[in-house]
């Protein structure tokens, strides 16, 4: 039942190419932000050198490659999943705001918790200096036996839950209440 | 918000207690008047630290690393060979590896092993061999017994002397002190590579970044 509801809601949103494009752009942007946030000091160093844009791109692609190198395909895939789900969730929120003119509820905003989780589970190009370290997780992701999957998997769950509540809200707004 | 948080953890800024530490160790931070401010740090490389390269080299590359860190291994495999070819072998820079052994007791044992190898002039033979045969973090590949087995493969190393040195833990304090020096310089993860010299100060690069990043910083410092 809820799967059909989500499917219908997604079909309503992504029937318009604008939302497909925005979803792809937001997903790509989120992935970029996850990598950038964890490699920011190097990014600043490279900016300070007045280097070419190519080198800045190289820092980002290297940051992505480092997740695969040190944390494995599972974490890398989960971060991509969080990025894609973030793009879909944010597009759905935009659709809800524009079409139904309804306010965004607290449950819908839960998705942003998932986005934060994606950022925290992204690895840096160095041992320990992840975003997780700033909140007192000494050793960064190194202390987690699953290298950060402990954070990214619940994030995926939160984003799915958020998509469910947005879908529910969208479907309910399309019919008269008794 | 991500950017702000990332900026604070990335190692560009020293920790908040850095000023106090700087007074103790004569570490000085300078800011350069650039569009994007780049901070340089001034510090003295310990005189006893072994180096790779010509003594007449004008610039230094100082890596703070942990022998168990996979990103240090990546730096060793993918960046160091280029630095060696372009800058160390050509007499332009000297390379130093200093301990920042923070990933557990096995890291400390590996760090102590390096100094035991140094007693026999084999510091970088040991360094290169360990990074070429690195295991997974804290999986038991670097217990004292395993380190002795690793060391047995280093050419012309007197294993009896090495084993006795490692058992005595005579370099335990030194490894901790070097890790402490790294902390004073703002190192919070590994690898962090400082590039420069005493006059110009050092610019740090955090992480196993592409070789081109290191090349640009070295060239900037040399210009």
Question: Cβ(A65)–Cβ(A75) under 8 Å?
Answer: no
Give percent of chain B above pLDDT 70: 83
Q: How far apart are CA A86 and CA A94, in angstroms?
A: 12
Q: Do B74 and A69 touch (CB under 8 A)?
A: yes
Does residue B87 form part of some domain?
yes
pLDDT exceeding 70 applies to what percent of chain A? 78
| pTM confidence score | 0.80
**pLDDT tens string B116-146:** 999 999 999 999 999 999 998 888 999 999 9
Measured CA distances, A81 to A87, A94, B34 (Å): 10, 20, 39
Task: Examine residue B135 and state whether it is found in any structural domain, yes or no.
Answer: yes
* Sequence-distant (≥ 6) Cβ neighbours of residue A161 within 8 angstroms: A107, A110
Task: List the single best residue of A29, A30, A32, A45 to mutate versus B (max B Cβ within 10 A).
Answer: A45
What CATH number is attached to the domain comprising B87?
3.40.30.10
Q: Is B16 part of any domain?
A: no
Q: Is B212 on the interface with A (CB under 8 A)?
A: yes
Q: Does B41 touch chain A (CB under 8 A)?
A: no
Share of chain A above pLDDT 90, in %: 15
Task: Indicate whether B202 belongs to any domain.
Answer: yes
> What number is the ipTM of this complex?
0.73
Chain B residues in contact with A33 (beta carbon < 8 A): 2
What does the pLDDT average to over B174-200?
93
> How close B52 comes to chain A (CA, Å)?
23
Q: Is residue B17 part of a domain?
A: no
Question: Residues of A with CB below 8 A from B189's CB?
Answer: 124, 126-129, 133, 140
Whether B13 is in a domain gets the answer no
**A30: distance to nearest CA of chain B, Å?**
11
How many domains is chain B built from? Answer: 1
Question: At residue B8, does pLDDT exceed 80?
Answer: no
Structural domain for B110, as ranges: 36-222
Q: Hey, what are B24's tokens? A: 């103790």
Residue B46 included in any domain: yes
What is the number of helices (H) and of strands (E) in chain A?
Answer: 8, 0
Residue B14, in any domain of the structure = no
């Amino acid at each position: 039942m809820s799967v059909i509801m989500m499917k219908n809601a997604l079909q309503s949103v992504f029937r318009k190419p604008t939302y497909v494009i925005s979803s792809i752009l937001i997903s790509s942007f989120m992935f970029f932000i996850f990598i950038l946030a964890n490699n920011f000091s190097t990014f600043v160093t490279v900016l300070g050198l007045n280097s070419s844009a190519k080198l800045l791109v190289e820092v980002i692609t290297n940051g992505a490659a480092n997740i695969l190198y040190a944390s494995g395909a599972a974490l890398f895939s989960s971060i991509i999943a969080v990025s894609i789900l973030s793009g879909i969730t944010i597009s759905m929120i935009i659709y809800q705001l524009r079409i139904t003119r309804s306010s965004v509820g607290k449950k819908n905003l839960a998705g942003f918790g998932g986005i934060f989780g994606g950022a925290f589970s992204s690895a840096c190009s160095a041992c320990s200096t992840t975003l997780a370290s700033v909140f007192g997780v000494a050793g960064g992701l190194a202390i987690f036996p699953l290298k950060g999957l402990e954070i990214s998997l619940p994030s995926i769950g939160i984003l799915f839950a958020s998509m469910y509540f947005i879908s529910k809200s969208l479907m309910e707004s399309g019919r008269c209440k008794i | 918000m991500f950017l702000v948080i990332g900026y604070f953890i990335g190692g560009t800024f020293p920790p908040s207690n850095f000023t106090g530490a700087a007074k103790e160790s004569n570490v000085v931070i300078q800011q350069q008047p650039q569009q994007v401010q780049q901070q340089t740090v001034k510090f003295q490389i310990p005189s006893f630290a072994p180096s790779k390269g010509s003594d007449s080299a004008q610039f230094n590359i100082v890596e703070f690393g942990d022998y168990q860190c996979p990103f240090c291994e990546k730096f060793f495999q993918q960046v160091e060979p280029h630095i060696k070819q372009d800058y160390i072998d050509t007499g332009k820079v000297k390379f130093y590896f200093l301990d920042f052994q923070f990933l557990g007791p096995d890291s400390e044992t590996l760090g102590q092993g390096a100094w035991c190898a140094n007693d026999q002039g084999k510091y970088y033979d040991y360094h290169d061999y360990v990074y070429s045969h690195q295991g997974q973090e804290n999986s038991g590949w670097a217990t004292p017994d395993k380190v002795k087995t690793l060391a047995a493969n280093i050419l012309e190393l007197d294993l009896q002397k090495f084993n006795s040195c490692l058992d005595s833990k005579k370099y335990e304090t030194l490894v901790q002190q070097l890790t402490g020096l790294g902390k004073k310089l703002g190192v919070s993860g590994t690898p962090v590579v400082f590039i420069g010299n005493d006059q110009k100060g050092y610019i740090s690069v955090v992480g196993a970044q592409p070789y081109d990043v290191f090349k640009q910083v070295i060239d900037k410092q040399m210009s």
